Amino acid sequence: MASAATTPYLSVEEYLNTTYRPDVDYVDGHIEQRNLGEFDHGILQAVLMELFRRHRKEWKIRPALDTRTQVGPTRFRVPDVCITDATLPKEQILRAVPILCIEVLSPADTLRKMRIRSEDYFHMGVPVVWILNPRLRNITICLPGGVATTHKAGVVTVEGTPIAVDLNEIYSALDED
């Protein structure tokens, strides 16, 4: 990721009116590149979206892929997958607090960097962030206050919701032909 010190200052309006491919985070006037684009990263995003779309009516959720999310007045993050409450109005830029934000680690990412991103989500009010590691085939579930647990198997849930995801189902997609 590019550090904030190496990118020129940009206003929120300039950021929102500029197209980036792939999209970037905006942190206090500076652009931060996101690591993505590798096969395992894309497969996990696709599998998660397929799962959440399949259960969207039952779980009353609206999943979104790579969607700008305003986490503060001068901060926008672009989570790999974001789950919002389906009863809320649709937003082109997410400003309502998501139920869940999910990040998939790319080889250049570190868990430490993702935990910093998670702090922005928690500041916004997001109750839980999942960080998937395709290389280790595990998930780190992060809660506000620095609480984090890592799981290699089983079903992970979001407290207070019907969301339940079987890690074996998610990671088995990496082994398919």
Listed range (3-12, 113-122, 162-171) with the worst mean pLDDT: 3-12
Q: Is the pLDDT of residue 3 over 50?
A: no
The full set of domains in the chain, from first to last, is 37-175 (3.90.1570.10)
Which value, to the nearest 10 degrees, does the dihedral of the CA atoms of residues 111, 114, 118, 120 take?
Answer: 140
Q: Residue 115: is it exposed, middle or buried by C-beta count within 10 angstroms (0-12/13-18/19+)?
A: middle
Q: Is the pLDDT of residue 1 over 60?
A: no
Encode pLDDT of 73-121 as tens digits: 999 999 999 999 999 999 999 999 999 999 999 888 887 888 889 999 9
Q: What is the DSSP string of 108-160?
A: T--HHHHHHHHHHHHHHT---EEEEETTTTEEEEEETTTEEEEESSSEEE-TT
* pTM, 2 dp: 0.91
pLDDT of residue 97: 98
Confidence label for 38 from pLDDT (cuts 50, 70 and 90): confident
Please count the other Cβ atoms lying within 10 Å of the Cβ belonging to residue 106.
16
Percent of the residues in the chain that have a pLDDT greater than 90, as a whole number: 81
Instruction: Report CA 33 to chain centroid distance, whole Å.
Output: 14
User: Average pLDDT in the 65-79 region?
Assistant: 96
pLDDT of residue 149: 95
Q: Is the pLDDT of residue 122 over 90?
A: yes
In degrees and rounded to multiples of 5, residue 70 shows phi and psi of -85, 110
Nearest to residue 109, comparing CAs of 47, 161, 167, 40?
A: 40
Listed range (4-8, 34-38, 109-113, 159-163) with the worst mean pLDDT: 4-8
CA distance 15 to 13: 5
